[in-house]
Amino acid sequence: MKRISFQLSFKIFQWVLVLIIIFSTYLGYRFYQVTYQSKAIENQRFWIVTVLNKYRMRSDTMSFLARQYLLNLNPRNLSEYQTLLNKKNPLIYAGFENEIKAAKVSNLSEETVYRPFSEYEHILIKEMMDDDKKLRAIEKSEFDRVSGLRGSNYQNKKIAVKGLQTESYLKLNLALMNMTNQLLNSVNQRFLLRAKKKDSEREALVYTIPLVLCMNIILLILSLLFINKRMGRYHSDLEGLTVKDFLTGVHNRKYLMETGPMLLALNRREQSRVALLMLDIDNFKGVNDKYGHDSGDKVLQAFSNNIIKRMRKGDIFSRFGGEEFVLVLNRMTEREAEKFANELRVLLSSQSVSTAQGDVSYTVSIGVIMSDETSELKSLIDNADKALYKAKREGRDKVVMFQEKCIVSPLAV
């Protein structure tokens, strides 16, 4: 199964993150909305209960003022009575179809507008209003009866209020009070039930939002780990490109010049020696001319792979330029280095590389030099190169150990 590319996986992560953010935003909005609706329901309940209490207080106050007026014939009582009679709450006296309009008139915002009363409650309100009319009619009748009485003709106050002490009047007052209480209980229960449903929704969101937040945190951590891992891999790849040869995969000249001196210093401290081998494929230009550059590239790759298989941990193998390669062998004696170089020459010369143009065989010339306590990498490379040219001058496919007299002129190969 193919691995998903970094670009595709990052796109998938981006979309997942966007979806989770949108979902989280939606949940936050829903939580705010449900909280606001729950508060609005409570405000509605409080407002309607307040209106009903005012209505009950109005009825009780009017009965009290009527009694006081009949007892004292005080015009002020009658004036206050008339004021309350003319003052009708728009919510109570609105029709079933017009109550929303009445609610708006009562300064409720459109979000909080709700039909205040159910059909059952409207029946109660209608009965309350009928009883209220009957009570007001009785009181008006009593007002008319005493309107001509003054002074000595108005001595018996008990007789003056007898109309408000009849059984029918008292029953109407009691019935009006009971229906008002029933209406209050009905409104309270209905609104509390609605508020309870909203509270249940809010509780569900309260548990959901932390879960989504945890998902966001987990996704963020995973994405950071994923991106960090991928960036680390890309960093390693980029670092490898700066120190490795693109074609063969071995280290390049830059890596050799940076790490070679450290290897020499380590061997000096350990009082051991380093063998530096300069390798060159013989007549490589002829391979390119005869078989093509693609075949030449395959030869270089096969050549590099064979040497990598013989390397030890701590050795350095790098492409120095063209078909020239440098192999630095750690902790070697001169005898071991010469033996290793000859074994490597025989191994490489005995193998062929299959290409589209046919099998390609090649030989290798190797120049070898051993380090001492004062050796520098550049001088070792120069001297190994001299030994390599001596090997080519003597017929190629040879290993030549550098000696002070090994000074030759460069040859075109």
8-60 pLDDT tens trace: 766 777 787 788 778 778 878 888 888 888 888 888 888 888 888 888 898 89
pLDDT score at 399: 95
pLDDT score at 22: 83
User: Which of 199, 222, 245 is a domain's end point?
Assistant: 222
Tell me whether residue 412 is in a domain: no
Domain count, the chain: 2
- What's the token pair of residue 364? 């290798």
Residue pLDDT, tens place only, 219-250: 777 777 777 776 666 666 555 556 788 889 89
Same domain, 102 and 51: yes
Q: Select the highest-mean-pLDDT range: 73-77, 167-171, 396-400.
A: 396-400
**CB 188: neighbour CB atoms within 10 A?**
14
Provide the pLDDT confidence category of residue 365 given band limits of 50, 70 and 90. Answer: very high
Tell me whether residue 231 is in a domain: no
pLDDT score at 245: 87
pLDDT score at 410: 47
- Residue 338, domain extent: 253-401
pLDDT score at 196: 86
Residue 128 has pLDDT above 70, yes or no: yes
Handedness of CA 127, 133, 137, 143 (dihedral sign): positive
Tell me whether residue 172 is in a domain: yes
Same domain, 217 and 257: no
Q: Which residue has the higher pLDDT, 218 or 13?
A: 218
The residue written with tokens 């790849």 in the block is 237
Tell me whether residue 66 is in a domain: yes
**CB 308: neighbour CB atoms within 10 A?**
13
Same domain, 213 and 262: no
pLDDT score at 114: 54
User: Which of 200, 222, 244 is a domain's end point?
Assistant: 222
Residue pLDDT, tens place only, 74-107: 889 989 999 998 887 777 776 544 554 545 544 5
Same domain, 144 and 41: yes
Same domain, 148 and 36: yes
Tell me the percentage of the chain whose pLDDT exceeds 70: 83
Residue 378 has pLDDT above 80, yes or no: yes
pLDDT score at 99: 52
Same domain, 61 and 117: yes
pLDDT score at 369: 95
Tell me whether residue 338 is in a domain: yes
Quick check: 77 and 68 in contact, CB under 8 A?
yes
Tell me whether residue 406 is in a domain: no
Tell me whether residue 413 is in a domain: no
Range with lowest mean pLDDT among 140-154, 277-291, 352-366: 140-154
pLDDT score at 201: 82
pLDDT score at 94: 64
Same domain, 271 and 217: no
Quick check: 174 and 152 in contact, CB under 8 A?
no
pLDDT score at 363: 94
- What's the token pair of residue 1? 């199964």
Same domain, 99 and 210: yes
Same domain, 198 and 320: no
Same domain, 22 and 139: yes
CA atoms within 13 A on the CB side of 247: 18
Torsion of the alpha carbons at 250, 254, 259 and 263, rounded to the nearest 10: 80
Interatomic CA distance for residues 348 and 345, integer angstroms = 5
Tell me whether residue 237 is in a domain: no
Residue pLDDT, tens place only, 303-312: 999 999 999 8
Provide the pLDDT confidence category of residue 191 given band limits of 50, 70 and 90. Answer: confident
Total count of residues recorded for the chain: 413
Same domain, 57 and 117: yes
Tell me the percentage of the chain whose pLDDT exceeds 90: 33
Interatomic CA distance for residues 232 and 21, integer angstroms = 28
Reduce the DSSP state of residue 377 to 3 states and report it. helix
Tell me which H or E stretch contains 275. strand 275-281
Same domain, 212 and 300: no
Say which CATH number the domain at 334 has.
3.30.70.270
Quick check: 400 and 391 in contact, CB under 8 A?
yes
User: Which of 222, 239, 263 is a domain's end point?
Assistant: 222
Residue 72 has pLDDT above 90, yes or no: no
